[in-house]
Amino acid sequence: MADDLHKGDEVTWRSHGTTVEGTVEKKITADTEAAGRTVRASKDDPQYLVRSDKTGREAVHKPSALDEA
């Protein structure tokens, strides 16, 4: 689990049974639209916008789903 990530940090996460490597693009601390969906977040319960190194696609994950690479 990764805590207090910053833009540019390298992370990994699990997606469909594989490990994906990518980069933190942004810390989300308020409800917003990102990666094609509505994201529910707050300062006490943030989420992170990440970009896959392999595909370039964006995803949003809670800190518990991310590991520092």
Q: How far apart are CA 57 and CA 63, in angstroms?
A: 18
Q: Is residue 61 part of a domain?
A: no
Q: How far apart are CA 36 and CA 64, in angstroms?
A: 21
The closest alpha carbon to 25, from 57, 69, 54, belongs to 57
Q: Is residue 37 part of a domain?
A: yes
pLDDT digits (tens, 9 = 90+) for 33-60: 999 999 999 999 999 999 999 999 999 9
Q: Residue 1 — very low, low, confident or very high, per pLDDT cuts 50/70/90?
A: low
pTM: 0.92
How much is the mean pLDDT over the chain?
Answer: 95
What pLDDT does 4 receive?
A: 86
What pLDDT does 20 receive?
A: 97
Give the number of domains in the chain.
Answer: 1
Q: Is residue 30 part of a domain?
A: yes
Domain that holds residue 39: 1-54
Residue 68 φ/ψ, nearest 5 degrees: -70, 135
pLDDT digits (tens, 9 = 90+) for 9-21: 999 999 999 999 9
